[in-house]
Structure 1
Amino acid sequence: MAETAAHAPGTGAPLVIAGGEIVERSGRRRADIAVIDGRIAAVTPSATERGSAAAQDDDTAEAAARCAGTVIDAAGCVVSSGLVDLFCRLGEPGNEEAETVATATAAAALGGFTAVLAQPDTDPPLDRLGELAQLRHRATGGRCSVLAAATISADRAGHRLSPMAELADAGVRWFTDVGPLAHAGLLRRALQYAGPLGATVSVRPACSQLGGGAAMAEGAVSARMGLAGEPAASEELAAAAAIGAARMTDGRLHLDRISAARTVELVRAAKAEGIDISASVAAEHLLFVDADAEGYDTLLRADPPYRTAHDRDALVAGVNDRTIDAVVSGHSPVPPQAKDLPFEQAPPGVAALETCAAIVLDHPDIPLLTALDALAWRPAALAGAAHLGGGAIEPGQPANLVVIDLDRPWTPAARGSASMARNTPHLHRQMHALVLATVVAGHAVVADGVLCGHVGTVAALTSGTTR
């Protein structure tokens, strides 16, 4: 996977994350994590577990880090490997009025993401090596690491394949045109090419002939609003066709941001059949339904559209039984004036990097381990990015970590935002899971819930949390 690391390893000041509960797939433990030269140097029982005398006599790498660097107090918090977002629009090139790579990566760090997958639907689209080099340059020095996705089709026009082999040689492992593909034959060829390259082909399943891209889901709510709707069949038929192409080619298929109950069933059946398939859902689709948009609030226009409570419940169930592999932010920044249009004309999308994790971790029907699996561990595996987030918390591993207080009420309005985009329906929503610290390649980029004043240092922090 082509990537740009936010910071070069080996340059970060030593730090210790102390007193937190480390949560991994293998279990939970209360331990301190020492970080030296960008890597985890030691994971040892916390002082309360060892006893004060053992803490005073400790002469390990942790003691050296305590003496030389920063200590982040994680008492009462969960410590996890960094979150990885498989769908993030970074704004530039082409949408700098709404977002830049610098502001998007800062927002991602505030949301606990240590790596994001940049979508290629920019202007120009990322479909050749020149655009890839420019993205890497823009991402250098960002607040989190950036993974590059490239388009399936040249110029994102849907007619012929992009130079997939050339891009794969440069490290790209994820190909998507972001929206639906023009025809199934192109998807079949893409899967055939991607297989030997070890790459994933990602599609957002929808049929334009069946209203794909409509402002609302088709149903009673869209009828009351007087708006054309996208029926669930638009997604279901496109998903079935994509699964059929994956079955024919043995290619690796990802269904991006699914929204319909029947699609969840199709993915579940395809996995049982042994097809190499994964799927994601946007965090908002675990929360909202079509009726929430009945007031014509353009902040609730989404792609895909929100569907019924039955669909939402099926998506939640799909996350819980691992049919759905990843929850994504779906971060889609737009300029403020773009939402000041009639509902059906306003662009869809939510600025979601800072709220995605909180929505999932606060969800009453999604357990903590499941939430972290969908936000960190499985997305990292799918992207081949365990070295940038979602990896094991053990000595020698890169230090990409997040500290989360699961009971710290906050609102986006009170916290403030690093993103330039303001298209969020959550401005005054009270959330409870707050990212207190984000460590990227050994650098503390967020501490005490705010961006650090200088990358890799801890500045202007309030009492208690970091000392």
Structure 2
Amino acid sequence: MTRLAQNRRREAVPEMADQQLPAAREPLVLAGGEIIDRAGRRHADITVLDGEITAVDPPGTSRNGSAHILDARGCVVASGLVDLFGRLGEPGNEEAETVATATAAAALGGFTAVLAQPDTDPPLDRLGQLAELRRNAAGGCCVVIAAATITADRAGKRLSPMAELADAGVRWFTDVGPLADTGLLRRALQYAGPLGGTVSVRPATADLGGTAAMAEGAVSARMGLAGEPAASEELAAGAAIGTARLTGGRLHLDRISAARTVELVAAAKAEGLDVSASVAAEHLLFTDADADGYDTLMRADPPYRTAADRTALLAGVNDRTIDAVVSGHSPVPPQAKDLPFDEALPGVAALETCAAIVLGHPDISLEAALDALAWRPAELAGVTHLGGGAIEPGQPANLVVFDLDRPWTLAERGSVSMARNTPHRHREMSAMVTATVVDGRLVVADGALRSAAGTVAALAAGTTP
């Protein structure tokens, strides 16, 4: 790590406040909030002890003298959020982000677990890299779930040692982008199936401009920039779904962006195929028109598309065609954005704002938002013990508390992520994560990072994907 990165890392994670926090064996009570899980809605006090929910009682009945009380009245209490796409910076991009700062940002954003993308330098395609990630993640502010590459060295030529990685707990395989060789995708799906693995691809066809700076259309023409047509995604998604049909494997379409792709996913599910899909939170907010000013903070992967595409994505989230909303967190050094639009690196730093965008979105129901941020992602990754599970006695205590009517801006609150490539610094959010509980420990309180999560090595080691 460079000296600059070390200094920025120290600056990015603030000193913990002098607030009395519950000890490891001291009860924590989340009092008076409205619990929302798949069982429905109810107001209750939640008692947490030794990393576990020990009681869910009527409001006011769990206030005893030995407990640390967190007042959740007027707020929603849900199971912890699970992000299926986060680039955590290291190894290879420590100048923009580290695992420590990324997990702090994730916890502040309500995530109790994040699926770390393997397109690092070197890529995570072997047991040594997996061990390094787990060492870096131990003691972080949320749990890091390891994903591994589909192909060795992420080169798209031959499969990675998927069986070895699966034996070590990996269940998610992705090259974090298109996989052009359909035959290789077929072998990956065939191989991953018996291992209980999911193969994830970002559908795009390079021959149709899959590396273009923005979506093809009237806006790109007006800006004089080459664009990626929606057909690039649609054709690749159709081919991937056809391969899943052929193999019976578990396919995930990562960060879809086009209306026709939503239709393809819906048809695949109606057919009974094991196909899931995600969308990045920003694609529920922005369209290609928002990039009209050549602001490189609006360059994303995949590119923002038309208002009709955004409407289809929102409908897909609400009707559960789209399984998960992801942060798509992609930290980029400032100098990589300080370039002409078509030369700047795509990517948005989004761990701290993703949940606020979705929970406060006027066109997404609250249950649909939680389904896409917590319940379904946890199921897809096989980590309902880390988030997204039922809120009842005996369950692991991974919880989030949020206020749906607490306006804030990232600039006013401050950011713990090292990355600054966000278009939301001065954008007012209407929903705020006020508390995050990871493995029974209060990591975020009153909307601020309060304490490291303690040692989560046992959760992030071989027993956890």
TM-score (norm 2): 0.92
2:274 is aligned with 1:288 = no
Could you tell me how far 1:182 is from its partner in structure 2? 2.7
Aligned equivalents of 2:122, 2:26: Cα separation in 1: 38
| Helix, strand or coil at the partner of 1:167 | helix
Aligned equivalents of 1:455, 1:279: Cα separation in 2: 30
Could you tell me how far 1:282 is from its partner in structure 2? 0.1
| Helix, strand or coil at the partner of 2:85 | strand
In structure 1, the partner of 2:58 is 45
In structure 1, the partner of 2:326 is 328
Aligned equivalents of 1:308, 1:291: Cα separation in 2: 8
2:378 to 370, 377, 380: 380
Contact 2:31–2:46 (Cα < 8 Å) also in 1: yes
Contact 2:141–2:452 (Cα < 8 Å) also in 1: no
2:271 to 268, 273, 281: 273
Equivalent position amino acid for 2:81 in 1: L
In structure 2, the partner of 1:50 is none
Could you tell me how far 1:454 is from its partner in structure 2? 5.2
1:31 to 44, 57, 63: 44
In structure 2, the partner of 1:232 is 230
Change (3 A) 1:245 1:12: farther
Contact 2:265–2:275 (Cα < 8 Å) also in 1: yes
2:337 to 312, 336, 339: 339
Q: Deviations over 1:307-354 (max 9, x none)?
A: 000000000000011000000000000111211000001000100000
Aligned equivalents of 2:390, 2:172: Cα separation in 1: 23
Structure 1 outlier segments of 4+, above 3 Å: 10-13, 453-457
Change (3 A) 1:156 1:12: farther
Aligned equivalents of 1:391, 1:67: Cα separation in 2: 29
2:212 to 201, 214, 218: 214
Aligned equivalents of 1:182, 1:100: Cα separation in 2: 30
| Helix, strand or coil at the partner of 1:135 | helix
In structure 2, the partner of 1:121 is 119
Aligned equivalents of 1:90, 1:13: Cα separation in 2: 32
In structure 2, the partner of 1:350 is 348
1:197 to 195, 198, 221: 195
1:420-431 to 2 correspondences below 5 Å: 420-431=418-429
2:421 is aligned with 1:408 = no
Aligned equivalents of 1:143, 1:446: Cα separation in 2: 9
Aligned equivalents of 1:359, 1:194: Cα separation in 2: 34
In structure 2, the partner of 1:3 is none
1:229-268 to 2 correspondences below 5 Å: 229-268=227-266
2:14 is aligned with 1:16 = no
| Structure 2 residue runs without a partner (length 5+) | 1-22, 456-465
Could you tell me how far 1:11 is from its partner in structure 2? 4.0
Q: Deviations over 1:361-414 (max 9, x none)?
A: 111110101000000000000000100000111111110000000000000000
| Helix, strand or coil at the partner of 2:65 | helix
Could you tell me how far 1:25 is from its partner in structure 2? 1.3
TM-score (norm 1): 0.91
2:141 is aligned with 1:143 = yes
1:98 to 96, 101, 111: 96
Aligned equivalents of 2:421, 2:441: Cα separation in 1: 30
Could you tell me how far 1:456 is from its partner in structure 2? 5.8
In structure 2, the partner of 1:158 is 156
Q: Deviations over 1:74-132 (max 9, x none)?
A: 00000000000000000000000000000000000000000000000000000000000
In structure 2, the partner of 1:87 is 85
Q: Deviations over 1:420-447 (max 9, x none)?
A: 0000001111111100000000000000
Contact 1:32–1:43 (Cα < 8 Å) also in 2: yes
Equivalent position amino acid for 1:189 in 2: R
Could you tell me how far 1:67 is from its partner in structure 2? 2.8
Equivalent position amino acid for 1:233 in 2: A
In structure 2, the partner of 1:51 is none
Equivalent position amino acid for 2:33 in 1: G
In structure 1, the partner of 2:15 is none
Q: Deviations over 1:17-66 (max 9, x none)?
A: 0010000111100000000111001000102xxxxxxx4xxxxxx45xx4
Change (3 A) 1:166 1:326: same
Question: Which has the higher mean CA deviation after the structures are superposed, 278-287 or 181-190?
Answer: 181-190
Equivalent position amino acid for 2:249 in 1: G
2:436 is aligned with 1:438 = yes
Equivalent position amino acid for 2:47 in 1: A
Change (3 A) 1:456 1:139: closer
Could you tell me how far 1:300 is from its partner in structure 2? 0.2
Coordinate RMSD, CA, aligned: 1.2
Equivalent position amino acid for 1:360 in 2: V
| Helix, strand or coil at the partner of 1:68 | coil
Q: Deviations over 1:277-312 (max 9, x none)?
A: 000000000000001001000000000000000000
Percent identity for Structure 1 against Structure 2:
80
Equivalent position amino acid for 1:85 in 2: D
Could you tell me how far 1:68 is from its partner in structure 2? 2.6
| Structure 1 residue runs without a partner (length 5+) | 1-9, 48-54, 56-61, 458-467
